[in-house]
């Protein structure tokens, strides 16, 4: 999974998040999906004692303590699909913790499948010190292209530790879409120039919680503090819509999933309407604080799948990070200062009223 060290410290406040959410107005219809009980589609992966199923079998808790993290894996591999869960993250001090929801072609419950040329699609939640919000990143790897990580990092407009929200990955032969609730936040459209960098191998769905003290929070500055353990992440309303593949068959027949692919591409979650594309644009303008597409240090030549947006490009340095050090709060302070200067120029009495 993505191990990009990032020193950006997120300082956006809950009140500002609520204001921005109200201003942006992310309004989309709920997806039509069929959920599974845990035993219908998943198996424990590691840390069995820290994996706790609900009595009805429709939700599961993953715990991290001083001894181990935990995780689960889909019982089958898939060639394309829609993979989704409602997730609630740990609260309080969560520095150094990573909660991941991702697709990976490298391993099944039967052992390794692709050792050095795996494909991967990630949603990774990055913990933070107490009082600071969770952040998260998405990443795309194809054909073992770990030296060409395609990270984007974001903030959220809500506190993901307070209640459940749906996080989803759509993967088809044509495109990849990452969702938060029903808002598309990122799309990767396949093109010939990507070659093997576009994920094409059968993959399993994973969910894990683990100790990533070496990199997850401010580049490893803050470590996991086990005085707050156990850390608990909860998953429910699990979805596996896709073409199931025999793991022994590494390279399935190209037509084996054609019918399912056609079905997937007709689903509501596969169609980005003008309204949802507008919501995606607003999300990226407000909450994306790193994108590899604008990182000219790592990629002097822009990767072929990047659809460079002129408005996004103006916001980022050549490093792909937000201007002014990536702090939304700092930008807000500068904007307030700018407004105050303008107010003073217009009227001394107005300035006194503001103070």
- Separation of alpha carbons 261 and 34, rounded Å: 17
Options 10, 40, 115, 120, the catalytic residue: 120
Residue 192, SS3 per DSSP: helix
Active site residue 151: no
CB 132 within 8 A of CB 9: yes
Which stretch of DSSP H or E encloses residue 165? strand 165-171
In the numeric block, the tokens 């001894």 are attached to 67
**Of 236, 234, 275, 290, the residue nearest 99 (C-alpha):** 234
DSSP character string of 277-341? HHHHHHHHHHHEEEEEEEETTT-SS--TT----HHHHHHB-TEEEBGGGG-HHHHHHHHHHHHHH
Q: Distance (Å, rounded) from C-alpha 48 to C-alpha 336?
A: 51
What is the C-alpha separation between 69 and 98, in angstroms, rounded?
A: 10
Which pairs count as long-range contacts for 224-229, CB under 8 Å and 24+ apart, including other chains? 224/64, 224/95, 224/96, 224/97, 224/127, 225/93, 225/95, 225/96, 226/65, 226/66, 228/92, 228/93, 228/94, 229/64, 229/65, 229/66
120 is known as an active-site residue: yes
Phi, psi of 187, deg, nearest 5: -130, 135
Which of 40, 115, 124, 151 does the annotation list as catalytic? 124
CA dist list (Å): 272 to 7, 13, 28, 48, 248: 33, 30, 11, 39, 34
Between CA 33 and CA 166 the distance in angstroms is 12
- List, by residue number, the catalytic residues: 120, 124
């Amino acid at each position: 999974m993505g191990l990009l060290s990032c020193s950006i410290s997120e300082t956006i406040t809950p009140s500002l998040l609520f204001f921005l959410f109200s201003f942006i107005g992310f309004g989309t219809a709920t997806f039509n999906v069929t959920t599974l009980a845990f035993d219908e589609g998943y198996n424990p992966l590691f840390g069995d004692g820290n994996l706790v199923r609900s009595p009805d079998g429709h939700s599961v808790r993953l715990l991290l303590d001083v001894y181990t993290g935990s995780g689960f894996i889909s019982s089958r591999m898939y060639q394309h699909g829609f993979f989704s869960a409602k997730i609630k993250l740990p609260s309080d001090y969560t520095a150094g913790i990573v909660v991941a929801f991702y697709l990976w072609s490298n391993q099944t419950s039967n052992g390794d499948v692709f050792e050095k040329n795996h494909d991967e699609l990630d949603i990774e939640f990055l913990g933070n010190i107490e009082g600071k919000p969770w952040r998260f990143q998405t990443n795309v790897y194809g054909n073992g292209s770990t030296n060409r990580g395609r990270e984007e990092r974001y903030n959220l407009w809500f506190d993901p530790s307070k209640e459940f929200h749906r996080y989803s990955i759509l993967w088809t032969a044509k495109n990849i879409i990452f969702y938060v609730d029903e808002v598309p936040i990122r799309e990767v459209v396949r093109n010939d120039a990507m070659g093997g960098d576009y994920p094409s191998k059968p993959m399993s769905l994973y969910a894990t919680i683990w100790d990533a003290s070496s990199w997850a929070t401010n580049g490893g500055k803050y470590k996991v503090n086990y005085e707050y353990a156990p850390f608990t992440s909860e998953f429910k309303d699990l979805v596996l819509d896709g073409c199931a593949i025999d793991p022994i068959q590494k390279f399935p027949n190209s037509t084996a999933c054609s019918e399912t692919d056609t079905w997937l591409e007709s689903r509501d979650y596969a169609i980005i309407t003008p309204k949802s594309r507008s919501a995606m644009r607003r999300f990226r303008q407000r909450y994306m604080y790193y994108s590899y597409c604008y990182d000219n240090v790592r990629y002097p030549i822009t990767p072929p799948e990047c659809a460079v947006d002129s408005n996004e490009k103006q916001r980022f340095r050549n490093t792909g990070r937000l201007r002014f050090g990536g702090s939304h709060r700092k930008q807000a302070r500068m904007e307030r200062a700018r407004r105050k200067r303008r107010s003073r120029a217009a009227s001394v009495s107005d300035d006194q009223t503001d103070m």
